Structure 1
Amino acid sequence: MPTYDVIINATGIDLPSVDDPIIGFTTSRRIKAPDEQEAIKAAKTAIAIEWRDGGYQARNRASAPHVDIEGIVPLSLWKRLTTKAPKRGFTFYTLPE
């Protein structure tokens, strides 16, 4: 089964932080799926579960994240064997100054 790296950007959130409120995040997920559409669906599901179970949903003062797929990369066997992808986690960002 093919493996894909799905690169995601999410906006429309409002998480409190020490400095400025967090308004979005980027992340990627490595997904095994029969095709790109199924990989995207699985990545979105994984993000939604982590958002809920990680406590972010409860702290969010805005709507659920609006998820955009920034890219999807099919991986060769060599790339799958020689690289690692995060299984969880987000890189949050605030409004630019």
Structure 2
Amino acid sequence: MADLAERRAILAEALQDDAERLTEQMWEPAKIYNFGGKDNEYNERDVPEPPADAKRALMSTAAQAIDRSLKLVPPETDQQGLAAVDAWLRGMMGD
């Protein structure tokens, strides 16, 4: 059982790394391409960052990786830290 827990922790870390790499790609130069026209020609172009639909796909995939990582190794709850954050948020909202 300990071996499985260790393997889950390793996998969770790898998924977190994947999510970070995916979110970084949203702001890096990319190549866009398309097939089209009557001759079904291939066209490509370099752009400073991916188009919105590609960013949406990257973010969705990153979110899935983060979700799976959290399911494999749930974060420890820090009740004292959460209480401090809650108090800070209440102060920000004027409650």
Is the TM value for this pair above 0.5? Answer: no
Which structure's residues are more often strand, by fraction?
A: 1
- Choose between structure 1 and 2 for higher RCO, CA contacts under 8 A separated by at least 6 residues: 1
Query: TM (normalized to structure 1)?
Result: 0.28
Higher Cα Rg, which structure: 2
- What is the TM-score with the length of structure 2 in the denominator? 0.28
